[in-house]
Amino acid sequence: MDYTAFLDMSPEVAQALEQGRPVVALESTIISHGMPYPQNVETALRVEETIRQNGAVPATIAVIGGRLKAGCTREEIEHLGRSGTAVTKASRRDLAVLVARGMDGATTVTTTMMIAAMAGIRIFATGGIGGVHRGATTTMDISADLEELSHTPVMVICAGAKSILDLGLTLEYLETHGVPVLGYGTEELPAFYTRHSGFKVDYRVDTPEELARIFRVSSELGLPGGILVTNPIPEEYSMDPEIINAAIDRAIREAEEQGIHGKATTPFLLARVKDLTGGDSLASNIQLVLNNAALAAKTAVCLRR
Protein backbone atom coordinates (compact mmCIF):
# COMPACT_ATOMS: atom_id res chain seq x y z
CA MET A 1 0.00 0.00 0.00
CA ASP A 2 1.22 3.49 -0.85
CA TYR A 3 1.23 5.77 2.21
CA THR A 4 3.03 8.70 0.58
CA ALA A 5 -0.13 10.81 0.49
CA PHE A 6 -0.03 10.93 4.29
CA LEU A 7 3.61 10.31 5.24
CA ASP A 8 6.48 12.81 5.44
CA MET A 9 10.03 11.58 6.00
CA SER A 10 12.72 14.02 7.02
CA PRO A 11 15.49 14.44 4.40
CA GLU A 12 17.95 12.70 6.74
CA VAL A 13 15.69 9.67 7.27
CA ALA A 14 14.67 9.44 3.61
CA GLN A 15 18.29 9.54 2.46
CA ALA A 16 19.34 6.93 5.03
CA LEU A 17 16.61 4.51 3.98
CA GLU A 18 17.37 5.05 0.29
CA GLN A 19 21.04 4.31 0.91
CA GLY A 20 20.33 1.27 3.08
CA ARG A 21 21.73 2.85 6.23
CA PRO A 22 20.40 1.89 9.70
CA VAL A 23 17.48 3.89 11.10
CA VAL A 24 15.86 3.69 14.54
CA ALA A 25 12.31 4.85 15.22
CA LEU A 26 11.43 6.78 18.41
CA GLU A 27 8.01 7.50 19.89
CA SER A 28 6.75 10.95 20.82
CA THR A 29 4.26 10.24 23.64
CA ILE A 30 7.26 10.06 25.95
CA ILE A 31 7.89 13.71 25.01
CA SER A 32 4.38 15.06 25.43
CA HIS A 33 2.97 12.77 28.13
CA GLY A 34 5.89 10.91 29.70
CA MET A 35 8.08 13.67 31.11
CA PRO A 36 7.75 17.32 32.18
CA TYR A 37 9.15 20.22 30.17
CA PRO A 38 12.04 20.90 29.59
CA GLN A 39 13.41 17.46 30.55
CA ASN A 40 11.23 15.90 27.87
CA VAL A 41 12.82 17.89 25.04
CA GLU A 42 16.33 17.54 26.47
CA THR A 43 15.88 13.79 26.75
CA ALA A 44 14.46 13.44 23.23
CA LEU A 45 17.47 15.25 21.78
CA ARG A 46 19.90 13.20 23.91
CA VAL A 47 18.25 10.00 22.69
CA GLU A 48 18.63 11.09 19.07
CA GLU A 49 22.29 11.91 19.67
CA THR A 50 22.87 8.54 21.36
CA ILE A 51 21.52 6.80 18.26
CA ARG A 52 23.82 8.81 16.01
CA GLN A 53 26.82 8.05 18.22
CA ASN A 54 26.10 4.35 17.79
CA GLY A 55 26.01 4.48 14.00
CA ALA A 56 22.32 4.89 13.13
CA VAL A 57 19.92 7.65 12.12
CA PRO A 58 17.12 8.61 14.55
CA ALA A 59 13.55 9.00 13.36
CA THR A 60 11.32 10.57 16.00
CA ILE A 61 7.76 9.82 14.93
CA ALA A 62 4.66 11.95 15.47
CA VAL A 63 1.60 13.42 13.78
CA ILE A 64 2.05 17.12 13.02
CA GLY A 65 -0.73 19.09 11.34
CA GLY A 66 -2.33 15.87 10.16
CA ARG A 67 0.87 14.58 8.55
CA LEU A 68 2.52 11.34 9.66
CA LYS A 69 6.13 12.26 10.44
CA ALA A 70 9.04 9.84 10.26
CA GLY A 71 11.78 12.11 11.53
CA CYS A 72 10.81 15.25 13.45
CA THR A 73 12.73 18.50 13.36
CA ARG A 74 14.11 20.06 16.54
CA GLU A 75 11.34 22.66 16.31
CA GLU A 76 8.67 19.95 16.11
CA ILE A 77 10.14 18.17 19.14
CA GLU A 78 10.15 21.49 21.02
CA HIS A 79 6.51 22.02 20.04
CA LEU A 80 5.51 18.59 21.37
CA GLY A 81 7.46 19.15 24.58
CA ARG A 82 6.01 22.59 25.30
CA SER A 83 2.46 21.57 24.38
CA GLY A 84 2.63 18.52 26.65
CA THR A 85 -0.66 16.81 27.37
CA ALA A 86 -2.52 19.32 25.20
CA VAL A 87 -1.32 17.17 22.30
CA THR A 88 -3.52 14.14 21.66
CA LYS A 89 -2.05 10.86 22.83
CA ALA A 90 -2.47 9.05 19.53
CA SER A 91 -3.18 5.33 19.50
CA ARG A 92 -4.46 3.29 16.56
CA ARG A 93 -8.07 4.43 16.99
CA ASP A 94 -7.04 8.11 16.82
CA LEU A 95 -4.83 8.07 13.74
CA ALA A 96 -7.38 8.49 10.94
CA VAL A 97 -9.25 11.22 12.82
CA LEU A 98 -6.09 13.23 13.52
CA VAL A 99 -4.95 13.00 9.90
CA ALA A 100 -8.39 13.85 8.51
CA ARG A 101 -8.71 16.88 10.81
CA GLY A 102 -5.13 18.11 10.35
CA MET A 103 -4.36 17.78 14.05
CA ASP A 104 -1.23 17.01 16.08
CA GLY A 105 -0.69 13.70 17.82
CA ALA A 106 2.03 12.21 19.99
CA THR A 107 2.51 8.61 18.94
CA THR A 108 2.33 5.73 21.40
CA VAL A 109 4.22 2.47 20.96
CA THR A 110 1.31 1.31 18.80
CA THR A 111 1.24 4.20 16.34
CA THR A 112 5.02 4.52 16.28
CA MET A 113 5.20 0.88 15.17
CA MET A 114 2.56 1.53 12.52
CA ILE A 115 4.24 4.61 11.04
CA ALA A 116 7.70 3.05 11.29
CA ALA A 117 6.45 0.06 9.28
CA MET A 118 4.89 2.38 6.69
CA ALA A 119 8.26 4.13 6.29
CA GLY A 120 10.25 0.89 6.14
CA ILE A 121 11.91 1.32 9.56
CA ARG A 122 12.25 -2.00 11.39
CA ILE A 123 13.91 -1.14 14.72
CA PHE A 124 12.22 0.97 17.40
CA ALA A 125 13.54 2.10 20.79
CA THR A 126 11.22 3.18 23.59
CA GLY A 127 11.11 3.31 27.39
CA GLY A 128 8.57 0.66 28.27
CA ILE A 129 5.61 -0.85 26.48
CA GLY A 130 2.03 -0.76 27.67
CA GLY A 131 0.38 -3.96 28.77
CA VAL A 132 -2.37 -5.52 30.83
CA HIS A 133 -3.33 -3.12 33.61
CA ARG A 134 -3.82 -4.29 37.15
CA GLY A 135 -7.45 -5.24 37.66
CA ALA A 136 -7.92 -5.88 33.92
CA THR A 137 -9.90 -9.04 34.67
CA THR A 138 -12.66 -6.59 35.66
CA THR A 139 -11.88 -3.45 33.64
CA MET A 140 -10.54 -5.11 30.44
CA ASP A 141 -7.93 -2.34 30.33
CA ILE A 142 -5.29 -3.77 27.99
CA SER A 143 -2.90 -1.59 26.02
CA ALA A 144 -3.18 -1.58 22.22
CA ASP A 145 0.62 -1.98 22.20
CA LEU A 146 0.26 -5.71 22.77
CA GLU A 147 -2.12 -6.21 19.87
CA GLU A 148 0.12 -4.17 17.57
CA LEU A 149 3.11 -6.32 18.47
CA SER A 150 1.17 -9.35 17.28
CA HIS A 151 0.84 -8.17 13.67
CA THR A 152 3.25 -5.30 12.86
CA PRO A 153 6.77 -6.46 11.85
CA VAL A 154 8.92 -4.14 13.97
CA MET A 155 11.45 -5.03 16.67
CA VAL A 156 10.66 -3.04 19.82
CA ILE A 157 13.51 -2.53 22.28
CA CYS A 158 12.35 -1.46 25.73
CA ALA A 159 13.07 -1.82 29.46
CA GLY A 160 10.15 -4.24 29.84
CA ALA A 161 6.53 -3.43 30.47
CA LYS A 162 5.93 -0.49 32.78
CA SER A 163 5.88 -1.69 36.36
CA ILE A 164 2.51 -0.01 36.96
CA LEU A 165 1.05 -2.98 35.02
CA ASP A 166 0.24 -6.62 35.72
CA LEU A 167 3.45 -8.10 34.34
CA GLY A 168 2.37 -11.74 34.60
CA LEU A 169 -0.81 -11.18 32.59
CA THR A 170 1.09 -9.03 30.10
CA LEU A 171 3.44 -11.95 29.36
CA GLU A 172 0.49 -14.33 29.08
CA TYR A 173 -1.18 -12.02 26.56
CA LEU A 174 1.99 -11.78 24.46
CA GLU A 175 2.40 -15.56 24.50
CA THR A 176 -1.19 -16.08 23.37
CA HIS A 177 -0.61 -13.72 20.44
CA GLY A 178 2.66 -15.35 19.42
CA VAL A 179 4.99 -12.45 20.26
CA PRO A 180 8.49 -13.63 21.27
CA VAL A 181 9.86 -11.86 24.35
CA LEU A 182 13.65 -11.72 24.40
CA GLY A 183 15.76 -10.68 27.38
CA TYR A 184 18.94 -8.84 26.49
CA GLY A 185 21.60 -10.29 28.77
CA THR A 186 18.94 -11.65 31.11
CA GLU A 187 16.47 -14.51 31.51
CA GLU A 188 14.19 -12.37 33.69
CA LEU A 189 11.70 -9.78 32.53
CA PRO A 190 12.93 -6.34 33.62
CA ALA A 191 10.29 -4.19 35.30
CA PHE A 192 11.07 -0.76 33.83
CA TYR A 193 12.43 1.06 36.92
CA THR A 194 14.03 -2.14 38.26
CA ARG A 195 15.97 -5.00 36.71
CA HIS A 196 13.94 -7.80 38.27
CA SER A 197 10.29 -8.86 38.21
CA GLY A 198 10.33 -12.55 39.09
CA PHE A 199 8.95 -13.45 35.62
CA LYS A 200 10.90 -15.25 32.91
CA VAL A 201 11.30 -14.13 29.31
CA ASP A 202 11.12 -16.62 26.42
CA TYR A 203 14.81 -16.47 25.46
CA ARG A 204 18.00 -14.77 26.56
CA VAL A 205 20.03 -13.00 23.86
CA ASP A 206 23.48 -11.56 24.52
CA THR A 207 24.53 -9.61 21.41
CA PRO A 208 23.03 -7.09 18.97
CA GLU A 209 24.21 -9.41 16.18
CA GLU A 210 21.95 -12.19 17.42
CA LEU A 211 19.00 -9.81 17.84
CA ALA A 212 19.42 -8.74 14.22
CA ARG A 213 19.75 -12.34 13.05
CA ILE A 214 16.55 -13.39 14.85
CA PHE A 215 14.62 -10.50 13.35
CA ARG A 216 15.98 -11.21 9.87
CA VAL A 217 15.01 -14.89 10.09
CA SER A 218 11.54 -13.97 11.36
CA SER A 219 11.09 -11.74 8.31
CA GLU A 220 12.40 -14.36 5.91
CA LEU A 221 10.04 -16.95 7.38
CA GLY A 222 7.16 -14.57 6.74
CA LEU A 223 6.08 -14.64 10.37
CA PRO A 224 3.52 -11.95 11.21
CA GLY A 225 4.08 -9.52 14.02
CA GLY A 226 7.00 -7.99 15.81
CA ILE A 227 9.59 -9.04 18.36
CA LEU A 228 9.85 -7.59 21.86
CA VAL A 229 13.34 -7.09 23.31
CA THR A 230 13.51 -6.30 27.02
CA ASN A 231 16.71 -4.52 28.01
CA PRO A 232 17.23 -4.06 31.79
CA ILE A 233 17.85 -0.58 33.15
CA PRO A 234 21.58 -0.13 33.96
CA GLU A 235 22.37 -1.40 37.46
CA GLU A 236 23.46 1.98 38.79
CA TYR A 237 20.08 3.53 37.92
CA SER A 238 17.86 0.63 39.02
CA MET A 239 15.50 1.65 41.84
CA ASP A 240 14.79 -0.19 45.08
CA PRO A 241 11.79 -2.46 44.30
CA GLU A 242 10.15 -1.79 47.67
CA ILE A 243 10.29 1.99 47.21
CA ILE A 244 9.06 2.01 43.62
CA ASN A 245 6.32 -0.59 44.25
CA ALA A 246 5.02 1.36 47.26
CA ALA A 247 4.84 4.50 45.12
CA ILE A 248 3.07 2.62 42.31
CA ASP A 249 0.53 1.09 44.70
CA ARG A 250 -0.29 4.49 46.14
CA ALA A 251 -0.57 6.08 42.69
CA ILE A 252 -2.93 3.32 41.54
CA ARG A 253 -5.15 3.86 44.60
CA GLU A 254 -5.28 7.59 43.87
CA ALA A 255 -6.19 6.95 40.22
CA GLU A 256 -9.07 4.72 41.31
CA GLU A 257 -10.28 7.28 43.85
CA GLN A 258 -10.21 10.04 41.21
CA GLY A 259 -11.92 7.93 38.57
CA ILE A 260 -9.00 8.09 36.14
CA HIS A 261 -9.09 5.39 33.46
CA GLY A 262 -8.29 4.63 29.81
CA LYS A 263 -5.51 6.52 28.03
CA ALA A 264 -5.23 9.01 30.92
CA THR A 265 -4.12 6.26 33.31
CA THR A 266 -0.47 5.82 32.36
CA PRO A 267 0.46 9.54 32.23
CA PHE A 268 -1.23 10.09 35.61
CA LEU A 269 0.53 7.13 37.23
CA LEU A 270 3.96 8.06 35.85
CA ALA A 271 3.58 11.66 37.05
CA ARG A 272 2.45 10.59 40.54
CA VAL A 273 5.25 8.03 40.84
CA LYS A 274 7.73 10.75 39.92
CA ASP A 275 6.35 13.01 42.63
CA LEU A 276 6.19 10.24 45.23
CA THR A 277 9.82 9.23 44.59
CA GLY A 278 11.12 12.79 44.71
CA GLY A 279 12.02 12.72 41.03
CA ASP A 280 14.13 9.57 41.24
CA SER A 281 11.82 7.70 38.86
CA LEU A 282 12.25 10.41 36.22
CA ALA A 283 16.03 10.13 36.41
CA SER A 284 15.76 6.34 36.03
CA ASN A 285 13.33 6.76 33.14
CA ILE A 286 15.77 8.97 31.25
CA GLN A 287 18.66 6.56 31.71
CA LEU A 288 16.74 3.49 30.60
CA VAL A 289 15.58 5.25 27.44
CA LEU A 290 19.18 6.19 26.58
CA ASN A 291 20.25 2.60 27.24
CA ASN A 292 17.55 1.25 24.93
CA ALA A 293 18.45 3.74 22.20
CA ALA A 294 22.08 2.61 22.20
CA LEU A 295 21.10 -1.06 21.90
CA ALA A 296 18.56 -0.29 19.17
CA ALA A 297 21.15 1.58 17.12
CA LYS A 298 23.68 -1.25 17.43
CA THR A 299 21.01 -3.75 16.41
CA ALA A 300 19.95 -1.63 13.42
CA VAL A 301 23.59 -1.44 12.30
CA CYS A 302 23.87 -5.25 12.49
CA LEU A 303 20.58 -5.68 10.62
CA ARG A 304 21.82 -3.53 7.72
CA ARG A 305 24.98 -5.62 7.40
- SS3 letters across the chain: CCCCCCEEECHHHHHHHHCCCCEEEECCHHHHHHCCCCHHHHHHHHHHHHHHHCCCEEEEEEEECCEEEECCCHHHHHHHHHHHHHCEEECHHHHHHHHHHCCCEEECHHHHHHHHHHHCCCEEECCCECCEECCHHHHCCECHHHHHHCCCCCEEEECCECCCECHHHHHHHHHHCCCCEEEECCCECCECCECCCCCECCEEECCHHHHHHHHHHHHHCCCCCCEEEECCCCHHHCCCHHHHHHHHHHHHHHHHHCCCCHHHHHHHHHHHHHHHCCCHHHHHHHHHHHHHHHHHHHHHHHHHC
27 has catalytic annotation: yes
172 has catalytic annotation: no
Which member of 89, 162, 274, 298 is catalytic?
Answer: 162
Which residue pairs, CB below 8 angstroms and at least 24 apart, start in 269-276? 269/164, 270/34, 270/162, 270/164, 271/36, 272/247, 273/164, 273/244, 273/247, 273/248, 274/36, 276/247, 276/250, 276/251
Which residues are catalytic, by number?
Answer: 27, 162
